[in-house]
Structure 1
Amino acid sequence: MSNEELRPEEFAQAAEAAITDALTRQDPRAMAEVLAQAGLCGVMAAEDDGGLGLDLAFALPIAQAAGRLRLPLPLPEQILLASALAGTPQAAALAAGERLAGIAWQGSLQSGHARLDNGPADWVLVADGDGAALVDASAQPRDEQGALDPEQPQTWIALEGATVLARLDGQAWRALQRQAHLLLAEYANGAAEGALQAAADYMATRVQFGRPLSAKQAVRHLLARMRLLQDVSSAAIRRATRTDEYGASRDTQPALAGALSNAAFVIEKAIHLHGGMGFTWELPLHRALRAVRKLDTAFAGLSRDAGRAFIQRV
């Protein structure tokens, strides 16, 4: 499919409709089936693998919509792996939504364990020396840790004896990491966008002393600051997708680090503006905060690494 036939903005609208439809299903596999039928799982996958063959620009708005609508599936990871494993049976299965896949950012095949922060997943990509390996984790022993999210806990997976389905060399693994930084940054930015919109709507309709809360200057200032941070994250993500003035690829770590920090601030303030409602199941903004905090722990030390890389470059 030619990128000229479709614009990312138009695809984003279709993605939102498909994700909204998927959320009406209770079973994760049923959700994945809906998303795959809409072409979301295979948006970047090769056409020979049943994908659309589009580039990262079309996946970014999908990740944003998944975060904004609080999709409880690792859709960004599914998109990345269906593309990175091009030409393999695993890529076709992921593009078709037949299997769920995630990426473990903590642990490795050599250490014998890895932590999955965004699940559920049948297959998990784990670090393997300079590259990475896709393992079948469906039958592996697991230790769930629900401190951050009791509904979708982080999971340590024992890898001893796990079947390796496919491998990525060092170059492919580094390319996937770069794309993952941008997709997950957009996912976090989308989670914050949904929280900000919910807060703005609530402030506009909640009336005290004859005036909506949005008429109060303190509230307006806070909403403006939240919007500013949203715009900063969006600009950083877009900038990281482009080459610098010398034609070299930009470092994607600062975009992800900034998006996670800004998203956490925006969502926490949205919960604050809603009062206790932000922690209720009727208005589950806490789910968005948990998703962002889990990403933050998955990439522990990211800000430090980005800062060190910047210092070394200058």
Structure 2
Amino acid sequence: MTPWILPEPMLTTAVDSSELPAGHAAEIKWDGFRAGLSIDAGHVVLRSRNGTQMAPAFPEIVAAAAQLPDASALDGELIVWESGRLAFERLQDRLRRRGAAAARAAEEWPAHFVAFDLLRLSGTSTTGWSYRRRRAALEQVFTDRGLGAPWALCPSTTDPAMVREWLTWTTATGLEGILFKPLDSLYRPGARGGVEEVQAARDDRGPRGRGHGISSGAPDSAPGPVRRGRLPALHRPHHHPLARRRAERRRLPHPRLGPGRASLGWLVVLSGVGQHPTARGRPGRA
């Protein structure tokens, strides 16, 4: 049998309008490393958009892949969170490390894998499924497996008001912008044009010093928690008891995630002591 190979990532097209088109979902666009991840009979592949093999540099992600269904694959973003912002330079530093140095870096600057698409599930390729169906299956994996850090489920919304809110939070946290994905679209490896990208304006503190602009591709963010320098992610509260207690203390908002999306869960904090299994005793590292 021919071994299954991770497909090339689907690419985005920049657009000027930040209004969510009809029949689309929005996701947050993270400032990190685009990554494809697959696990097959215990063998884990973690590959960048350009084909770089990243598994040796991120041992905590490789170890956590055992929590996923076998013969499955995700499309997502590797990120590091530091002092209330995405820290792209930490990712760059980590990519150069191997062996013991990579293990130490995983403790000092642990990464999250923010999943926003499902490419394979228990041996079945899902690239021929609609975005709507892939998204529902991805959420089910998070629910059934009780996934927590280092896994994070990228928020998705069909509510235009939520998209406008997201765009107001991106500057302070280094988020890149918003992605618009047609609900009925298939995953087209290597193709450009199916996903629109709206890049948010950013200030001089942007992690890579980018200019201003707008793009649409993958959404993510939360109002109060983001402004206070916490990493938001969509997750069910009973899967993350520590995060739930912190969320209750902070009285985090429970935003609607668009028509019919309220059942997806609420936004919870993933950063902080005890949230990331490789960051024990390291306040503010997540």
Q: Tell me which structure has the larger Cα radius of gyration.
A: 1
- Structure having the higher strand fraction is 2
The interval holding the TM-score normalised by the smaller chain is under 0.3
- Structure having the higher helix fraction is 1
Q: TM-score, normalised by structure 1?
A: 0.25
Q: TM-score, normalised by structure 2?
A: 0.26
Q: Which has the higher contact order (CA 8 A, sep 6+)?
A: 2
